[in-house]
Amino acid sequence: MRALLIAVMIVTGLIFVSNQVADVAWGMSGRPPVVGTPAADFSLTDLNGHTHSLSQYRGKVVLVNFWATWCKPCTTEMPAMQATYDRLRDKGFVVLAVNELEDEAKVRDHIRAYGHTFPVLLDRDNHVANQFGVFGLPVSVFIDEFGVVREYLKGGLLTEQKIHEVVSRIQAAGELKAASAR
């Protein structure tokens, strides 16, 4: 009887501990931003030591892409991000690639090897990823000229066509807003 009581106490303790661990794990990430609401501002440092804040890109359509070098879908979609960035950056489009928790040297080597030229920001403490509800990679957030979230894509693979379609739709809506405000 005593052994049964001890076993029940151990199992109860394990269930309690596992629930606590699960609560912590789920609590690490905030909720994804709601489409149509303002994006939370942030400031992160790039690979050259320059600080970028989301608010400094007001007036432009911004793709905030959360990624890591070990994430195959992340690295697979980066050439499409680069090609679209090259084609649209003079038309008010910005890519901010936010790397999560990786060693700066590893990130730098990866970016250099693939020749990416868009800003790569280091989220060293995962604060910004948590702010944007990132749980799993990749996550892409499209933000309009006014700082409002227009699309939140979790997983999947960005293609040049997909990025161009979303950016065109956002820019067209922005032009309509500007025209109606006159």
pLDDT per residue of the chain (182 residues) written in tens, 0 to 9: 665 545 445 544 444 434 343 333 434 568 999 999 999 999 999 999 999 999 999 999 999 999 999 999 999 999 999 999 999 999 999 999 999 999 999 999 999 999 999 999 999 999 999 999 999 999 999 999 999 999 999 987 899 999 999 999 999 998 877 777 76
Q: Yes or no: say if 67 and 97 are a contact pair by the CB < 8 Å rule.
A: yes
Closest CA to 148 of 128, 108, 177, 123: 177
Separation between Cα atoms, residue 167 and residue 150, nearest integer Å: 10
Tell me, what's the pLDDT at 6?
58
Tell me, what's the pLDDT at 90?
97
Rg (CA), the chain: 20
139 beta partners: 66, 154
Q: Yes or no: say if 138 and 159 are a contact pair by the CB < 8 Å rule.
A: no
pTM: 0.83
Tell me, what's the pLDDT at 3?
58
Q: Yes or no: say if 119 and 46 are a contact pair by the CB < 8 Å rule.
A: yes
Tell me, what's the pLDDT at 30?
85
Tell me, what's the pLDDT at 43?
98
SS3 10: helix
List for the chain the helix, strand, coil content (%; round to 5): 50, 20, 30
Distance of CA 181 to the CA centre of its chain: 31
Separation between Cα atoms, residue 58 and residue 181, nearest integer Å: 17
Tell me, what's the pLDDT at 18?
40
Tell me, what's the pLDDT at 177?
72
Tell me, what's the pLDDT at 31?
92
